[in-house]
Structure 1
Amino acid sequence: MSGYSIAGNFDQYFSIKLANTKELKQEAYKIRHAVYCEELKWEACSDNGFETDEYDDHAFHCLLEHKRTGRYAGCIRLIIPPENAKNFQLPFEKNCLESARADVLDTQALPRGSFGEISRLAVLSSFRRREKEKNKPFVLESVDPETMYYEEERRNFPNIAIGLYLGGIALASLCNHLGIIVMMEPRLNRRLQRFGLPFEQVGDEVDYHGNRAMFFLKKEHFHYALNDQMQELYQIVYQSLAAQIKLKPYSDKSQYRIPDIVQSTSGSITPLSQRVTL
């Protein structure tokens, strides 16, 4: 389509929100319950209709709002291990650490607070409804849902998941993280690679809600390799979140030396737990 802008159309119909209130976080928990409990049956249903866990208090949560209806289409979170809680395990550490390729990247050597894990990406079925996708939490392909949404709006539905991914990456960038960990299917990684997100596989494939592996995205690859359309979308998402989050100066007195595989261009580390306030 001549002159078509993914970012422009996405921005017309959707907005990304930092879930920085109890009410907004509960909207994310409801989406997760609908997808992970009711639809996928990966977690047990709860009486209150929320899907929560021990990581939620250590995470930034994002929501994607459909502007015309005010409905929230999906959510994602970035979990940051507390800098002062050495025994706190991220989901990948608790469930899949034995699959890690420490010779590629020793995540246990990274300073706590200098990286995070993206997880709980979920998109409501009404924003991606298609028979072959009914048991998947998100898609990055074309869809044709039978919903109340206009055809022009539906054309943007395939971009919901990538918009949320970019939200998680933007948060990591705002936190000055060295990189991001995510457990995902290798085929999803191949799709993300085509968008310009060169995640590196740093773990063997395991059976974890399907065939998944540990992937790491370095700080220098957060957005610089994105194609032009995705770069434009990233900037919209980044600027929107930057306006919603407050940062305060932090000086790292430890002068920790970053391992060569994730060497920071700045040479400094800024643990989120001491630097960021909501």
Structure 2
Amino acid sequence: MTQYSIAENFNQYFKIRFADTKELRQEAYKIRYGVYSTELGWEPENDLQMEIDECDHYAYHCLLEHRRTGVFAGCIRLIIPPPNDPNKQLPFEANCLQSAKKEVFDTSSLPRGSFGEISRLAVLASFRRREKEKNIPYVLNNINPETIYSEEERRNFPNIAMGLYLGGISLASLCQHQGMVVMMEPRLNRRLKRFGLPFEQIGDVMDYHGQRAMFYLDKKNFHKDLTEQLEELYAIIHKDMTEQIKLVNFGKNTPFNIPNIDLSNHF
């Protein structure tokens, strides 16, 4: 039997998708609603059954598509504040700056638009089922019973969040960002470090949907320290993202790119 690497196996079942249309962005909002509103209760429910906030007007979204069924398993976004509008903040700037350790790293030293914040990572509960639940029938989006995933497919489920993180990092790399900020639990940061993503803690732990802190990843560490298998997966994801994204370059006076899509129409 052919032995596939983690990257090859993952790529067999999942594909990164850049949300360059209103319809794809709405798929991300629906996943977020299912996780953040229905499941966790962190955000209010609404009739549209989509979770959206003011940052989505300057955020770029990635989805992870399950190839066999076409179901979107999860999503992540990279928020890039417009350089010409200082009133449009990143979530950590609006909610967490009081915890910042500016002596470690001061994000205000970075040009606006040259960095972003990764947030709203969400994975559907159906792709987080434990092994003992694998025989419980369920249907997603009115898809027939063949939607129930095989044991081989389930072995890839724990890597979904990592695939989404790598998608967000690839997007930041394509935008020529100097770095990125993430609000996360310290224990998640320890796990990411083991995989080769050395986020640096730049804020005190605070109560922000649980005990979380600000972490920063410099561009020099976007992927060079990844484990060999995850570096292979990053290469696949980065190639897919490169083929999907059209970028706008603002010239030498503004050292970054942004994806060339219209974010004005969400609904």
Whether these two folds match at TM > 0.5 is yes
Q: Does 1:99 align with 2:99?
A: yes
Secondary structure class of the residue paired with 1:45: coil
Question: For residues 1-278 of structure 1, what are the structure 2 equivalents within 5 Å?
Answer: 3-130=3-130, 145-146=133-134, 148-253=148-253, 270-272=255-257, 275-278=258-261
Moved more, 65-74 or 84-93: 84-93
Larger relative contact order (CA 8 Å, sep ≥ 6):
2
Q: Distance in 2 between matches of 1:195 and 1:225?
A: 8
Measure the CA separation in 1 of the matches of 2:223 and 2:108.
25
Q: Secondary structure at the match of 1:203?
A: coil
* Cα distance in structure 1, aligned partners of 2:234 and 2:34: 27
Instruction: Supply the distance in 2 between the matched residues of 1:161 and 1:210 (Cα, whole angstroms).
Output: 19
Alignment length (residue pairs) = 249
Query: Partners in 1 of 2:18 and 2:132 — Cα distance?
Result: 28
Partners of 1:246 and 1:276 within 8 A in 2: yes
CA distance in 1, matches of 2:18, 2:122: 15
Q: Percent identity?
A: 63
What secondary structure does 1:126 align onto?
helix
- Contact 2:196 / 2:226 at 8 angstroms: preserved in 1? yes
Q: Which runs of 4+ in 1 moved over 6 A?
A: none
Aligned-partner Cα distance in 1 for 2:152–2:111: 45
Of 57-66 and 244-253, the range deviating more from structure 2: 244-253
Residues in 2 aligned to 1:62 and 1:145: alpha-carbon distance in whole angstroms:
28
| Distance in 1 (alpha carbons) for counterparts of 2:200 and 2:67 | 35
1:266 is aligned to none
Contact kept, 8 Å, 1:175 with 1:270, in 2: the verdict is no
For structure 2, which runs of at least 5 residues remain unmatched after alignment?
A: 137-147, 262-267
Cα displacement string for residues 29-50 of structure 1 (whole angstroms, at most 9, x for unaligned residues): 0000000000000000111110
The 3 A distance-change label for structure 1 pair 92 and 144 is farther
Check conservation: 1:38, 1:45, Cα contact below 8 A.
yes
SS at match of 1:94: helix
Task: Name the counterpart of 2:141.
Answer: none
Over residues 224-254 of structure 1, what are the superposed CA-to-partner deviations in whole Å (9 max), with x where a residue is unaligned? 000110000001110101101112343233x
Conserved? CA contact 1:144–1:154, under 8 Å: no
Contact 2:173 2:222 in 1 (8 A): yes
Cα separation, 2, equivalents of 1:227 and 1:2: 22
Give the corresponding residue for 1:260: none
Distance in 1, Cα, partners of 2:46 & 2:259: 31
Q: CA deviation at 1:271?
A: 3.6
Q: Structure 2 CA distance, aligned partners of 1:24 and 1:276? A: 15
SS class of match (2:183): strand
**2:260 alignment partner AA:** T
Per-residue deviation, 1:109? 2.0
Structure 1 residues 55 and 229: CA distance shift in structure 2, 3 A: same
Contact kept? 2:205, 2:213, Cα under 8 Å? yes
Residue 73 of structure 2: SS of its match in structure 1?
strand
**1:3 to partner: Cα distance:** 4.1
SS at match of 2:213: strand
Q: Is the 8 A contact 1:115 1:180 kept in 2?
A: yes
Equivalent AA in structure 1 for residue 187 of structure 2: R
Deviations 1:88-107 (A, max 9, x none): 21100111110011111111
Structure 1 residues 197 and 144, CA, compared in 2 at 3 Å: closer, same or farther?
farther
TM-score by length of 2: 0.90
Kindly indicate whether the alpha-carbon contact (under 8 Å) linking 2:249 and 2:256 is maintained by their aligned counterparts in 1: no
CA contact (8 A) 2:76 2:120 kept: yes
C-alpha contact (below 8 Å) 1:17/1:64 kept by paired residues: yes
- How many angstroms does 1:144 deviate by? 5.7
User: Which sections of structure 1, spanning at least 5 residues, go unmatched?
Assistant: 131-142, 254-268
